[in-house]
């Protein structure tokens, strides 16, 4: 039970002219800090900081800033948790110059704390540097009423340095290994091989702009949730999360603004009797083959047949309106085929056939690009391949009925596959919703057990713009409100980066609200700009999520976009994992004692040395994971929005292997303090093996970090050992990071 801090203090002293700032420090602030758990070297008093912006005099002398208290979670840590300034009882600490002064300490490059506070003896106020309103404000004589909340923000245990994460990465957990009742202590999953073409319910059914590998999604669902749990994907896309949740005996909610997404998932999951579906297909095929129109003139005698006209295509398209994407023959045949399908009376059968029809549209238009490497059916629509409506140089006139039958067979196989788990009774466990991730008001607070989602990445893909061809043929309306709420940058509505940030941030807030405590959210992201990573982490943390670790995950086969644009398209992604806990720990910003360009070069050179040449993805992933775990991601965002030009300037690039190498006859460029360099790589290596649940020997450590340290100076083993002893403890024949090891 908390012992009252100031039960013996006479607060009337604060009104005496003799009770000044120094008295506030000694009689009130020091006991407060000790009560929170700070002592000794954790409390840094009056550290002089050079103002990074202002200089005075002809000699341009730097102005010094001197915060009263900088607080560390560990005595030897290079990170500061928060900053506190003392003021005299008669000074204003809620606004004005005093608040601005302490804010300047918090954002100083040598400090970089999320929190700053002021205390004048009468009052205590706590701010978060990226919010205008205070987090806490109370009279000091009422501190006991606010004590638990104050500790949840400012106690040493409220922060994580990265070094003492309690999770451990393991290989994919097998069924029965995890404790079904213990959600929060489940370890992270390791990267796993993808099996995109191994599932009939996904492969070949219908194209989409991005599609997560089903076996990866399923592994995450089965690992972080239990049978019967509710799994949410608010950026549902092609529906892999929803489908795999249902196939794993979970309940699910799939949400997407794009009606094409909602149609695909609903049509695929709609329960049907296979024999009745096959008979319906034969009816449609027979009727189509009997007429097989070659032009619109052949349809004059039929009523109710139409095709989409007048829909304007996005800027950058090779033609202006949707009907210009098709030959007259294609328009006639597609219109007739759709007309025949709409005659079917059973809604589930009708939608199943429309799914095959929609999938056929992908290859029955002038933007269909044949791959050239295989037969003429091996290709894709330009909207999926180039992310724009680009007319092919050589038109491929595929037989529509052959295409439709091929697609139908794929869907028939998919139906048989999902039918093993999803029928008239179990389909109620899935809720497929056209809506926005920014408004989940139809979902109750703390009702979701797990979230796995793959959101849009800035201006990479304007989903609604590119879906016009399919939505128009399927008579699926897209409203102005849909465009307004779509979380993209750019597009036909010229969404700004700030608007994209705002929509993603609001989505994360909603995800936090609906997720249960002690549950997980896995956030897939493959954006190249570190600013967006910072947005995700910072917003999630501000909402109350605790960062639990990022895992690199490949996408499998390299996409056409990646082969055409090796520097602007990442072939892999990171899965960032968060936990919703009642007292989340905040990531500290590391003061590495070096310029960010040195960190960049050190990491890039290290990963190149480690792998004997590294891809853009390997360097990018290593930088982002280190930035997340060591807390310098926002520095990357400011300096390196695109890694490519820097890497091309600094290293040799092998086009065949798509790897960067140290230039011939050039030594490593990073020259920093040897001990700091050793410590940086020791931390990185020991964290990594800890996540893999391994305990390396000293020889393992030396062999793994030595290639990263060669820079004209090769350290002696004793030097590595001396640094190692400061951050790790021996365990048997190996070494493990100290639970509260004092670095970064």
pLDDT 10s digits, 591-649:
655 566 777 787 788 777 667 688 887 888 778 777 766 666 666 666 766 778 888 88
CA distance linking residue 435 with residue 439, whole number of Å: 8
Instruction: Grade residue 329 by pLDDT with cuts at 50, 70 and 90.
Output: very high
Per the model's pLDDT, the better-predicted residue between 526 and 383 turns out to be 383
The pLDDT value given to residue 71 = 95
User: Is 32's pLDDT higher than 90?
Assistant: yes
| Owner of token pair 């922060």 | 159
Please state the pTM of the whole predicted model.
0.78
Any residues with CB less than 8 A from the CB of 349 and at least 6 apart, and which? 272, 276, 277, 280
Pairing state between β 82-86 and 115-119: parallel
| pLDDT at residue number 590 | 61
Distance (Å, whole) CA 157 – CA 169 = 22
When mean pLDDT is compared over 122-131, 496-505, 566-575, the highest value belongs to 122-131
pLDDT of residue 642: 72
Angle between helices 328-341 and 400-418 (to 10 degrees): 40
User: For residue 169, is pLDDT > 50?
Assistant: no
Is the Cα torsion angle 594, 600, 603, 604 positive or negative in sign?
negative
Average pLDDT estimate for 550-570: 56
Written as six digits, the tokens of 340 are: 């025949």
Which residue is it, tokens 């520097």? 567
Q: What was the pLDDT predicted at 405?
A: 97
Who has greater pLDDT, 417 or 7?
A: 417
CA distance 386 to 455: 19
pLDDT for the residue 714: 56
pLDDT at 39 over 80: yes
356 burial (CB, 10 Å; 0-12 / 13-18 / 19+) is: buried
Q: Determine the Cα–Cα distance for residues 161 and 164; give it in Å rounded to an integer.
A: 7
Give the model's pLDDT for residue 172: 39
Residue 413: which pLDDT band, with cuts at 50, 70 and 90? very high
Nearest CA to 251 out of 227, 222, 215 is that of: 227
Give backbone dihedrals phi and psi of 396, rounded to 5 degrees, phi first. -110, 115
pLDDT digits (tens, 9 = 90+) for 71-80: 999 887 778 9
Q: In the beta sheet, which residues pair with residue 138?
A: 124
Q: How far apart are CA 175 and CA 166, in angstroms?
A: 22
> Could you report the per-residue pLDDT of 675-734, keeping only the tens digit for each?
656 776 787 688 778 877 889 999 888 888 777 665 545 567 778 888 888 889 999 999
- Give CA–CA dist 280/288, Å, rounded: 12
Both tokens assigned to 278: 């096959």
pLDDT at 592: 55
pLDDT at 153: 93
The pLDDT of residue 671 is above 80: no
Q: E strand or H helix at 741, and its extent?
A: none
Higher pLDDT: 650 or 705? It is: 650
Residues forming beta bridges with residue 49, ordered by sequence position: 65
N-term to C-term CA, the chain: 32
**pLDDT exceeds 80 at position 556:** no
CB 467 within 8 A of CB 260: yes
In this prediction, residue 618 carries a pLDDT of 81
Identify the DSSP state of 313: P
Least confidently predicted of 304-318, 361-375, 679-693: 679-693
Q: pLDDT-derived band of residue 571, with 50, 70 and 90 as boundaries?
A: low
Beta strands in 230-374 (DSSP E): 230-233, 251-256, 368-370
Whether the predicted pLDDT of 41 surpasses 60? yes
Mean pLDDT of 509-513: 97
**384 vs 469: CA distance, rounded Å:** 12
β partners of residue 136? 126
Summarize pLDDT for 131-162 with one digit per residue, the tens. 889 999 999 999 999 999 999 999 999 988 65
Residue with the bigger pLDDT between 509 and 549: it is 509
Say whether pLDDT at 452 is over 90. Answer: yes
Q: How confident is the model at residue 85 (pLDDT cuts 50, 70, 90)?
A: very high
Is residue 437 scored above 80 in pLDDT? yes
Residue 725: CB atoms within 10 A of its CB come to: 12
What would the pLDDT profile of 241-296 be if each residue is shown by its tens digit? 999 999 999 999 999 999 999 999 999 999 999 999 999 999 999 999 999 999 99
Query: Between β-strands 572-580 and 515-525, what pairing exists: parallel, antiparallel or unpaired?
Result: antiparallel
Give the pLDDT band of residue 197 (cuts 50, 70, 90).
confident
pLDDT score recorded for residue 568: 43
Residue 668 has pLDDT above 60, yes or no: no
Q: Can you tell me the distance from the alpha carbon of 472 to that of 484, in angstroms, rounded to the nearest whole number?
A: 19
Q: Which residues pair with 737 in a beta bridge?
A: 728
Predicted confidence at residue 670, as pLDDT, reads 54
Query: 166 pLDDT band (50/70/90 cuts)?
Result: very low
Q: What does R_g of the chain's alpha carbons equal in angstroms?
A: 30
pLDDT reported for residue 623: 80
pLDDT of residue 626: 74
Q: Is the pLDDT of residue 570 over 70?
A: no
For the record, the structure tokens of 360 come out as 């056929």
Stronger pLDDT, 683 or 485, i.e. the higher one: 485
Q: Which residues pair with 430 in a beta bridge?
A: 252
State both tokens at 337.
Answer: 């085929």
In the chain, what percentage of residues exceed pLDDT 90?
54
Of residues 332 and 178, the one with the higher pLDDT is 332
Q: Burial of 559 by CB count in 10 Å (0-12 exposed, 13-18 middle, 19+ buried)?
A: middle
pLDDT at res. 620: 80
With 50 as the cut, is the pLDDT of residue 173 above it? Answer: no
Domains assigned to the chain: 11-160 (3.90.1570.30), 196-269+421-587 (3.40.50.150), 274-413 (no CATH), 629-737 (1.10.10)
Cα separation of 500 and 504, whole Å?
Answer: 6
What's the pLDDT at 162? 52
Q: Which of 157-161, 470-474, 670-674 has the lowest mean pLDDT?
A: 670-674
Decide: helix, strand or coil at residue 327: coil
pLDDT tier, 391 (very low <50, low <70, confident <90, very high otherwise) = very high
Contacts of 57 (CB under 8 A, 6+ apart): none
Neighbour count for residue 661 (Cβ, 10 Å): 15
Contact between residue 146 and residue 137 where contact means Cβ atoms under 8 Å apart: no
């Amino acid at each position: 039970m908390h012992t009252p801090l100031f039960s013996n203090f006479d607060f009337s002293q604060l009104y005496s002219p003799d009770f000044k700032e120094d008295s506030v420090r000694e009689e009130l602030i020091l006991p407060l800090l000790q009560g929170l758990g700070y002592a000794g070297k954790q409390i840094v008093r009056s550290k002089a900081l050079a103002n990074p912006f202002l200089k005075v005099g002809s000699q341009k002398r730097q102005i010094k800033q001197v915060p009263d208290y900088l607080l560390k979670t560990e005595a030897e840590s290079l990170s500061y948790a928060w900053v506190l300034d003392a003021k005299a009882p008669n000074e204003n600490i809620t606004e004005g110059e005093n608040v601005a002064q302490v804010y300047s300490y918090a954002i100083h490059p040598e400090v970089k704390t999320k929190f700053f506070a002021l205390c004048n003896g009468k009052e205590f106020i706590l701010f978060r540097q990226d919010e205008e309103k205070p987090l806490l404000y109370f009279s000091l004589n009422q501190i006991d009423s606010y004590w638990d909340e104050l500790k949840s923000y400012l106690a040493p245990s409220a922060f994580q340095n990265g070094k003492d994460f309690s999770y451990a990465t393991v290989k994919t957990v097998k069924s029965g290994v995890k404790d079904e009742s213990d959600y929060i202590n489940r370890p992270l999953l390791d990267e796993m091989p993808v099996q995109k073409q191994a599932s009939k319910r996904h492969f070949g059914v219908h194209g989409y702009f991005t599609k997560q590998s089903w076996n990866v999604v399923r592994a995450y669902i089965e690992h972080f949730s239990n049978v019967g749990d509710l799994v949410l994907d608010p950026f549902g896309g092609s529906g892999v999360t929803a489908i795999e949740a249902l196939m794993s005996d979970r309940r699910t909610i799939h949400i997407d603004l794009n009606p094409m997404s909602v149609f695909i998932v609903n049509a695929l999951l709609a329960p049907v009797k296979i024999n009745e579906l096959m008979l319906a297909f034969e009816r449609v095929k027979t009727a189509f083959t009997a007429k097989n129109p070659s032009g619109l003139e052949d349809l004059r005698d039929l009523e109710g047949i139409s095709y989409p006209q007048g829909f304007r295509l996005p800027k950058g398209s090779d033609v202006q309106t949707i009907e210009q994407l098709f030959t007259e023959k294609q328009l006639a045949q597609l219109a007739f085929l759709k007309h025949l399908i709409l005659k079917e009376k059973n809604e589930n059968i009708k939608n199943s056939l429309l799914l095959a029809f929609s999938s056929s549209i992908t290859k029955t238009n002038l933007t269909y690009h044949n791959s050239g490497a295989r037969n003429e059916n091996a290709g894709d629509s330009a909207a999926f391949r180039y992310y724009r409506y680009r007319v092919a140089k050589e038109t491929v006139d595929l037989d529509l009925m052959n295409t439709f039958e091929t697609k139908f067979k794929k869907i028939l196989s998919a139906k048989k596959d999902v039918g093993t788990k999803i029928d008239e009774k179990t389909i109620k466990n899935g809720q497929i919703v056209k809506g926005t991730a920014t408004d989940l008001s139809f979902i109750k607070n703390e009702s979701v057990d797990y979230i796995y989602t793959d959101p849009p990445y800035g201006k990479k893909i304007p989903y609604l713009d590119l879906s016009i061809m399919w939505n128009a043929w399927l008579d699926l309306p897209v409203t102005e409100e849909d465009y307004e709420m779509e979380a993209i940058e750019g597009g036909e509505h010229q969404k700004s980066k700030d608007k994209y940030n705002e929509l993603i941030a609001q989505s994360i807030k909603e995800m936090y609200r609906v997720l249960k405590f002690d549950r997980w959210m896995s956030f897939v992201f493959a954006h190249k700009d570190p600013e967006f990573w910072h947005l995700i982490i910072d917003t999630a943390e501000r909402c109350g999520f605790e960062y639990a670790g990022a895992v690199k995950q490949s996408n499998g086969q390299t996409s056409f976009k990646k082969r055409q644009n090796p520097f602007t398209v990442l072939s892999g992604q990171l899965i960032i994992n968060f936990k919703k806990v009642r007292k989340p720990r905040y990531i500290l910003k590391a003061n590495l004692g070096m310029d960010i360009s040195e960190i960049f070069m050190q990491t890039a050179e290290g990963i190149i040395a480690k792998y004997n040449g590294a891809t853009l993805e390997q360097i990018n992933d290593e930088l982002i994971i280190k930035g997340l775990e060591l807390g310098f991601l926002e520095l990357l965002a400011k300096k390196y929005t695109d890694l490519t030009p820097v890497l091309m300037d600094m290293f040799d690039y092998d086009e065949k292997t798509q790897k960067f190498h140290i230039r011939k006859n050039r030594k490593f460029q990073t020259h920093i303090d040897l001990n700091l360099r050793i410590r940086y790589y020791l931390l990185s290596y020991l964290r990594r093996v800890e996540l893999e649940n391994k305990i390396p020997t000293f020889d393992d450590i030396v062999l793994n970090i030595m290639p990263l340290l060669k820079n004209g100076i090769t350290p002696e083993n004793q030097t590595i050992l001396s640094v190692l002893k400061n951050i790790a403890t021996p365990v048997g024949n190996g070494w493990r990071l100290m639970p509260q090891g004092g670095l970064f």
